[in-house]
Amino acid sequence: MSNELFDFDEILKYSPTDELIVSTYLLVDGARVTKKDYLSELNSMIAKTRDNIEVASGFEKSRQKNIFNTLDRIKSYVGDAYKRENEKTLLIYAGTDSELWKVYKLPIILKSKILVDPKPNTQSLRSLLSNYKKYGVLLIDREKAQIYQIYLGEIREYLAAYISEVPPKVNFRFESGLREKKILGKIDEKLHQFYRTLNENIFDFFKDNKFDYLILAGRKEIINEFKNYLHSYLSAMMIGTFEEEPSTHEHIILDKANKIISDFESDNINHTIDKLINELEPQGFGVLGLKKTIDALIADNIKTLVFMEDYTARGYACPACGYLTLKLQEKCPYCDNTLVNFNDIVDEIVESALNQGSEVLPVKESDKLKECGKIGAVLRYKFQR
């Protein structure tokens, strides 16, 4: 994936005009759907959107035509140009009167839908982005340093570069012992200042929310030297190190950093699963299984949702208020709307949890979670009995 796919600023800062924007979310997760499946789903959503526009929108014919042309463009792109990689959801924002065309490949499942509004539909995207952590990678030697931001598995930003005033090499062959000591003293002083300045700048990036966790890279002895200068907050945020040089190509940096990030996030997931199992209600702050997870979601009581990525289950949802249930009911008990049958209610659970501000942790493999129902939640508060 190219970095431009993660340039969200234009969409998140979009100011409405007279133009309409078509926002398309399409579940393309290879573990859940085939290409035939997601193309069929897209065609169905486009047909339903066209019917709604023709019957109930009140738009003039010319505006309807622009919307339909945009829908056809989206259909053509997904069917002919789009190549699925490792993403789970394809998100497309397309303007009906302008050149606006943004495609994002998201690493988490979101419900398939098409919306036509005066501005991009970004609620699910904003909720998703708030869940993902940013990682700073600092590559350092005694001559220079560089720092990157890694986000959603890609290098998102080249934050800064720094040049040291410390000379790379000094020849003492003809120097007296006293002169040598003075030179070494000046070098040590410059290196000390370089490390101090670097620490201050890195800490400023941390305070500006440029990253949540830090990875150090360089020669082992230099990393160990620089650690002594790290602010206590940065030390607490450091999750690993690897050996490389600031001149190393970005893709090597990314590969090594992503290995550390993957191990760190895997440990975090395993810790959360252990906490979930060890603190099951009513004694603690955890629930397991689909029914209890839905109950917690309806009560806005999910701090962290944990689920197996390949888990699917049938259920029913209210299109008006978002009420979820596993039981067949004709009407929503809260708003009396007709419930919609979903072959996979897990998508609805994930999106509802994101919109409630819950942390979402999809799990590839976990025997513990699999044995306990494949889905569960760490609660915000204990259920009252």
**What is the 8-class DSSP label of residue 79?**
I
* 334, two tokens: 């809260």
Residue 285 · residue 379 · CB < 8 Å: yes
* Residue type, position 96, single letter: T
pLDDT score, position 110: 84
Q: What is the pLDDT of residues 23-37, one digit of tens each?
A: 999 999 998 899 999
Residue 240 · residue 265 · CB < 8 Å: no
Residue 301 · residue 356 · CB < 8 Å: no
pLDDT score, position 140: 93
Residue 286 · residue 275 · CB < 8 Å: yes
Q: What is the pLDDT of residues 36-61, one digit of tens each?
A: 999 999 999 999 999 988 887 678 88
The model carries a pTM of 0.74
Q: What is the pLDDT of residues 294-353, one digit of tens each?
A: 999 999 999 999 998 888 888 888 888 889 999 888 889 999 988 888 777 887 898 889
pLDDT score, position 6: 64
Residue 93, classed as helix, strand or coil, is strand
Plot region of 139 (φ>0 → left; ψ -120 to 50 → alpha; else → beta): beta
What percentage of the chain carries pLDDT values higher than 70?
Answer: 91
The answer to whether residue 121 scores a pLDDT higher than 90 is no
pLDDT score, position 57: 66
pLDDT score, position 99: 85
Q: Domain spans of the chain?
A: 3-130, 134-267, 279-379
- For residues 104 and 126, give the distance between their C-alpha atoms in angstroms, rounded to a whole number: 13
- For residues 19 and 120, give the distance between their C-alpha atoms in angstroms, rounded to a whole number: 11
pLDDT score, position 2: 39
Three-state helix/strand/coil letters over 333-379: CCCCCECEEECCHHHHHHHHHHHCCCEEEEECCCHHHHHCCCEEEEE
Q: Please name the helix (run of DSSP H) or strand (run of DSSP E) that holds residue 13, with its range, or none.
A: none
Of 250, 272, 268, 264, give the one whose Cα is nearest residue 137: 250
Give residues with Cβ within 8 angstroms of 332, minimum separation 6: 318, 320, 321, 323, 338, 339
Q: Which residue has the higher pLDDT, 5 or 152?
A: 152
* Residue type, position 159, single letter: L
Residue 5 · residue 104 · CB < 8 Å: yes
Name the CATH topology of 279-379.
60s Ribosomal Protein L30; Chain: A; (3.30.1330)
Residue 295 · residue 287 · CB < 8 Å: yes
Which one of 9-23, 82-96, 181-195 scores highest in mean pLDDT? 82-96
pLDDT band at 185 (very low <50, low <70, confident <90, very high): low
pLDDT score, position 166: 63
Section 188-196 average pLDDT: 85
Name the CATH topology of 134-267.
Nucleotidyltransferase; domain 5 (3.30.420)
pLDDT score, position 1: 39
Architecture of domain 3-130: 2-Layer Sandwich (3.30)
Count of helix runs (H) and strand runs (E) in the chain: 11, 16
- For residues 177 and 187, give the distance between their C-alpha atoms in angstroms, rounded to a whole number: 15
Sign of CA dihedral 52, 342, 286, 369: negative
Of the candidate ranges 12-21, 193-202, 297-306, the one whose mean pLDDT is the lowest = 12-21
Section 239-257 average pLDDT: 92
The alpha-helical segments, DSSP class H, found in 134-249 are 177-207, 220-227, 232-237
Residue 123, classed as helix, strand or coil, is helix
Average model confidence (pLDDT) across the chain: 87
Q: How many of the other CB atoms lie within 10 Å of CB of 353?
A: 24
Section 195-221 average pLDDT: 94
pLDDT score, position 212: 96
DSSP secondary structure of 290-324 = HHHHHHHHHTT-EEEEEEETT----EEE-TTT--E
Of the candidate ranges 72-86, 105-119, 166-180, 343-357, the one whose mean pLDDT is the lowest = 166-180
Q: What is the pLDDT of residues 82-91, one digit of tens each?
A: 999 888 999 9
* 357, two tokens: 């501000």
pLDDT score, position 7: 75
DSSP secondary structure of 98-112 = S--EEEEEESS----
